[in-house]
Amino acid sequence: MIISMHSNARKKEIKNVVREIELLGYKTKVFEGVRKTVIHIIGATERDRIKRKVENMPGVEELIPILHPFKLVSREFKKSNTIIDIDGLKIGGEEIIVMAGPCAVESEDMLLKIAEEVKKSGAKILRGGAFKPRTSPYSFQGLGKKGLEFLAKAREKTGLKIVTEVISVEDVPIVSQYTDIFQIGARNMQNFSLLKTVGRFNKPVLLKRGISSTIEEFLMAAEYIVSEGNPNVILCERGIRTHEKYTRNTLDISAVPVIKELSHLPIIVDPSHAAGDWRYVGALAKAGIAAGADGLIIEVHNEPSRALSDGKQSLKPEKFKKLMEEIKAISKSIGRKI
């Protein structure tokens, strides 16, 4: 159960409510959000007793019973969709937002070329990894700080926002100086110290689903970020590992409507890492939008055969352009804009 306090509740009122709850024998966790404070009563069973005790206490707005283990990200806690606003660009609203770009930033020139192409086709956010989490320690690990600088230059030239991955706690401050959105990759979905660290920043986080994680584990990972005070989480379904081998991962398309019901957070689909092969990217992207996703993140490369990572699943700019036209048609038919 959660007690939501009025936005103008005083510190003393919050303290009094916490004391009353603890006198009933429960532990509490207090979340001081940007707009208001909420008090989570851990393992609350006697709802009526709690209600009688605190309902009319000064500062209390409402009591919300939450049955799921994830609380702040649940639809029970917040009925309306969360819309993340990045200088006027809204994720989770009526508009479908497409993020596109190379898997990794390889050079300034290449990044700028791709950025201009994807922008022309309607992408609003440029993706590109500067710190790459590679399966092999011998594979290209990314350009690091140089890569961040190239991303910032591409933003300056094109006006696109940028999203880039942060793979360790110590890199969070430097990445935050450059990026508009932190990306937490599938391999780090349960890196709890990394989740808590980005949770303390006032910057949106694109959280990718872990390679073998359940929807519940995924939402619990988002809860880690939100419970640290950062409500701006964008979830990303990017395929999970199954017994199937013809695709790199299996896009769990049902995760989209299920998460829309369970959570108020926006969810986007990554068809590139799900498919692992550019030939299937379009079909998965279209399925994601038709299923209700708020956007897509797609790998695009001008020379996929020479890409330093994930070339096999990268679309050439002209293929991306064509796909965007199809996505526009689907978006329109389900009453959404792009």
Residues near ligand PEP (CB under 6 A): 103, 129, 133, 185-187, 208, 238, 270, 273
Q: How far is the CB of 310 from Mn ion (least distance, A)?
A: 4
Let me know: does 172 contact 188? Beta carbons within 8 Å: no
C-beta closer to Mn ion: residue 103 or 115: 103
C-beta closer to ligand PEP: residue 59 or 239: 239
Q: How far is the CB of 103 from ligand PEP (least distance, A)?
A: 5
C-beta closer to ligand PEP: residue 131 or 201: 131
Give the other-Cβ count within 10 Å of 172's Cβ: 18
DSSP 123: -
C-beta closer to Mn ion: residue 132 or 161: 132
Q: How far is the CB of 37 from ligand PEP (least distance, A)?
A: 34
Helix (H, G, I), strand (E, B) or coil at 72: coil
The burial class, CB within 10 Å (0-12 / 13-18 / 19+), for 66 is: middle
* 180 sits in which H/E element: none
C-beta closer to Mn ion: residue 38 or 104: 104
> Minimal CB distance to Mn ion: which residue?
103
Q: How far is the CB of 309 from Mn ion (least distance, A)?
A: 6
> Minimal CB distance to ligand PEP: which residue?
185
Q: Contacts for 40-47 with beta carbons within 8 Å, 24 or more apart?
A: 40/1, 40/2, 40/71, 41/1, 41/2, 41/3, 44/1, 47/1
C-beta closer to ligand PEP: residue 103 or 220: 103
The Cα 236–Cα 287 span in angstroms is 14
When CB distances are held under 5 to 8 angstroms depending on the partner's kind, the choice from Mn ion, ligand PEP, none that residue 185 binds is: ligand PEP
C-beta closer to ligand PEP: residue 270 or 294: 270
Q: How far is the CB of 314 from Mn ion (least distance, A)?
A: 8
Helix (H, G, I), strand (E, B) or coil at 3: strand
Does residue 270 belong to the site contacting Mn ion (CB under 5 A)? no
Q: How far is the CB of 275 from Mn ion (least distance, A)?
A: 11
The partner residues of 31 in beta bridges, in order of sequence, read 38
Least Cα distance to 100 among 120, 80, 81, 124 occurs for 124
The Cα 265–Cα 73 span in angstroms is 7
Does residue 103 belong to the site contacting Mn ion (CB under 5 A)? yes
When CB distances are held under 5 to 8 angstroms depending on the partner's kind, the choice from Mn ion, ligand PEP, none that residue 238 binds is: ligand PEP
Q: How far is the CB of 124 from ligand PEP (least distance, A)?
A: 17
When CB distances are held under 5 to 8 angstroms depending on the partner's kind, the choice from ligand PEP, Mn ion, none that residue 124 binds is: none
Let me know: does 270 contact 163? Beta carbons within 8 Å: no
The Cα 163–Cα 104 span in angstroms is 11
When CB distances are held under 5 to 8 angstroms depending on the partner's kind, the choice from Mn ion, ligand PEP, none that residue 208 binds is: ligand PEP
Cα-trace Rg, the chain = 21
Of 310, 315, 317, 338, the one binding Mn ion (CB under 5 A) is 310
Let me know: does 251 contact 275? Beta carbons within 8 Å: yes
Which residues here bind Mn ion, judged by CB under 5 A? 103, 310
